[in-house]
Each structure stands twice: as structure tokens, then as C-alpha cells.
Copies of this chain bind each other. A is one copy, B any other.
Amino acid sequence: PGMAGIRLCLGWSTIATMILTQLTNGVAIGARKGLQWPSDRLRTTYSSCHVLPWRLTRAAFKNFVSYASRKDKSKTPSLHRLPRLFVEKNLSIGDYINFDSIQSNYLASVMRLKQGSYCLVFDGVNGEFQARIETADKRETTAVVERESRPPPVTPIGGPVLIFSPLKSKSRMQFLVEKATELGVGSLVPAKMRRTEVTKINVEKTRRHAVEAAEQCERLTVPIIHDMQDLSDILADWPPECPLFCCIERTTNEGLADEMLAHRDPTSKLSASFGLMVGPEGGYHDEERDTLMNHPAVISVSLGENILRAETAAIAGLSVMRMCGGVGDRKDGGG
């Protein structure tokens, strides 16, 4: 009986510790989500937990707190945290939107929006709008466009053109598209170069990745995704008056930043259009290098002395163009 008593004591103290731990977790999560303690909701949960400790798992608590904070959000919409979706039709105030099944599922099931909740929508042309959910259903959610939340961008698509050799690794390719979109690229032109090892790209899928990144980073536009073209065709069509910065490895060119600054024209930011080209993973072929060097629009630049991977070169180049050239910054969708 003595042993049983001790066992019983341990059992109770364990349960007490569990309650305390879960409670602390819950409060910590609540605090991080911006909830005040003591709040009515937490107090209610606390009392019911007291009598039903076995229901107070950490996951349940997390769910509750995240649900509660989400509910609060939908009542007083903070624009920065509203779900934000790209819609494939021209938007204006008063329009009805029928979200497709993926978007409906996201809004109704994942984000648990109800009738009367708000979300943000943009169409890539007319700026961004706040829309009120009319019917919330995981198969077909509808909303009505209530008011403009951000005006349209100054120029339709202002960021630089990125010409690149598609990468073999799908994850690196997806990453490149995501980062280029965040950094304000205007269009993506996959080029077939001599050492390109990819024979075709999935334009639809690439565009979907770009749309997701645009939704997430609050861009007002979605970059244009071109189908794969031969490098020679791209160069033949390139307007000679638009500077095309080519990152060529193992050269002693000027750095991209200095070249960008030399070409920055503060008086007419909007008129200039820039391009950035990065080579394939195996580097340019000698003939390609010669062709590039002799093209009137090409400005050969260096990205520093380490050898960068193809996707790093593209991202680093776009970062510098964004911040040194006034391209993809003020004049882009983000502006």
C-alpha cells in the first residue's frame, strides 16, 4: 500500500507538471501571437483544462490560440497579414470574384476565412484591392471587391529582364524563380546556350512559382515567363540601346555595381530598360563569349572573384541592379 501511495503521488505530480507545462506553452504561444494574459479565451480554456487535463495537449492549445488570433485578425483587418491572392482577371471596385478550387481551399480550409472576412487581391495591372468574402467554401469561394488598398504601379512591369540558362536541379530552379520575383525581375527569359543541359522548361509551373512568390512578397505585378529560346535568337532581337549586363566568369571587368551606377540616369529612371544575363552551370562556350563581347548592347561585368553558382549569380546581380540602378525598386510593382 505504501508503494501504491507513492506511485499515486508521482502520478498526480506528473499530471500537475503536465498541466503547468502545457499552460506555459500555451501562454507563451499566446503572447507571441499578441494575445494578452489573462484573456477571456485563455481563462475559459484554463478552467476547462483544469477538469479535463487529458484534453490539453500542446497541439490542441496551439490550434486554439492560432484559431483565436486568426479570428481576431479577420475582425480588424491588418492589411499586412491578410491572405493575398493573384486573380487572372481585370479587377475594379464592385467586381465579384470566383476563386478557383486551389484558392478556395486555401481561403476556406487553410486560412479558415468566413463570410465577411477580408482578403487582398491583385491582378498584376490595376493595383491591389481589399475583397470581402461572400461565400466561404473549400470548393468555391466568392468575394466582392470593396476598395483599393494600393494604387496601380507607375509602369506596367518595370523590372529588369533576366536571361538565364535553366538549371538541372528543380529545387534550385524554383528557388531562382522565387528570389528573382521577390527582387523585382520584370521578365524571365530561359535561354538555350551551348552548355545548357535542360532541353525544355515547364512555363506553366514556372509561372505558378512566380505567382506564389509575388503573392507572398506583396508585389503588384507578376513577372512574364517566356518559353525557352536559343541564345542567338534572343541576342538578335535585343534592342541595341538597352544595356545588357553579362556576368562572365574569370574576367577582369568592372564590377556590376560600378557599371550600374555609371548607367544610372537619375533624370529618366522610367525610360531605361536593363537586362541581366548569367551563363549556364558549365560556363559560356568560347564562341558564345565572343558573340557576347561583340554585341552592341552587351556590357561585360564581374560579380567578384569567387565563382558563383548560376542561381547565385542571377540573384546577386538582380540584388545589385535593384539597389544600384533604381530598377525593380521604385518603378517596379512594389512601388
Q: Please list the residues of chain A having a beta carbon within 8 angstroms of any beta carbon in chain B.
A: 32, 171, 175, 179, 182-184, 195, 216-219, 255-257, 261, 303-309, 312, 315-317, 319-320, 322-324, 328-330, 332-335
Instruction: Tell me, rounded to whole Å, the shortest Cβ–Cβ distance linking A252 to chain B.
Output: 12
> Per a CB cutoff under 8 Å, which of B320, B329, B333, B334 touches A319?
B320
> Residue of B at shortest CB range from A324?
B257
Instruction: Tell me, rounded to whole Å, the shortest Cβ–Cβ distance linking A308 to chain B.
Output: 5
Cα distance, A306 to B219, chains bound together (Å): 6
Q: Are B315 and A332 in contact (CB under 8 A)?
A: no
Cα distance, A217 to B217, chains bound together (Å): 29
Q: Are B182 and A218 in contact (CB under 8 A)?
A: no
> Per a CB cutoff under 8 Å, which of B171, B323, B328 touches A171?
B171
Given contacts A309-B216, A316-B319, whether A334 and B182 have CB atoms under 8 Å apart is no
Residues from chain B with a CB closer than 8 A to the CB of A183 are 304, 306, 308, 312, 316
Residues from chain B with a CB closer than 8 A to the CB of A328 are 304
Cα distance, A261 to B257, chains bound together (Å): 10
Cα distance, A316 to B320, chains bound together (Å): 8
* Copies of the protein in its oligomer: 2
Residues from chain B with a CB closer than 8 A to the CB of A175 are 175
Residues from chain B with a CB closer than 8 A to the CB of A332 are 305-306
Residues from chain B with a CB closer than 8 A to the CB of A335 are 305
Given contacts A257-B320, A320-B324, whether A179 and B304 have CB atoms under 8 Å apart is no
Instruction: Tell me, rounded to whole Å, the shortest Cβ–Cβ distance linking A261 to chain B.
Output: 8
Instruction: Tell me, rounded to whole Å, the shortest Cβ–Cβ distance linking A181 to chain B.
Output: 9
Q: Are A217 and B309 in contact (CB under 8 A)?
A: yes
Residues from chain B with a CB closer than 8 A to the CB of A324 are 257, 320, 323-324
Residues from chain B with a CB closer than 8 A to the CB of A306 are 182-184, 217-219, 332-334
> Residue of B at shortest CB range from A308?
B182
Cα distance, A324 to B324, chains bound together (Å): 9
Residues from chain B with a CB closer than 8 A to the CB of A307 are 217-218
Residues from chain B with a CB closer than 8 A to the CB of A329 are 255, 304-305
Residues from chain B with a CB closer than 8 A to the CB of A316 are 183, 315, 319, 322-323
In the complex, the 4 A-B pairs of residues with the closest C-beta atoms, listed nearest first: A306-B334, A316-B319, A319-B319, A257-B323
Can you name 23 A-B residue pairings with CB atoms under 8 Å? A179-B315, A183-B308, A183-B316, A184-B304, A184-B306, A217-B306, A217-B307, A255-B323, A257-B323, A304-B328, A304-B329, A304-B334, A305-B330, A305-B334, A306-B332, A312-B315, A315-B315, A316-B319, A316-B322, A319-B320, A320-B320, A320-B323, A320-B324
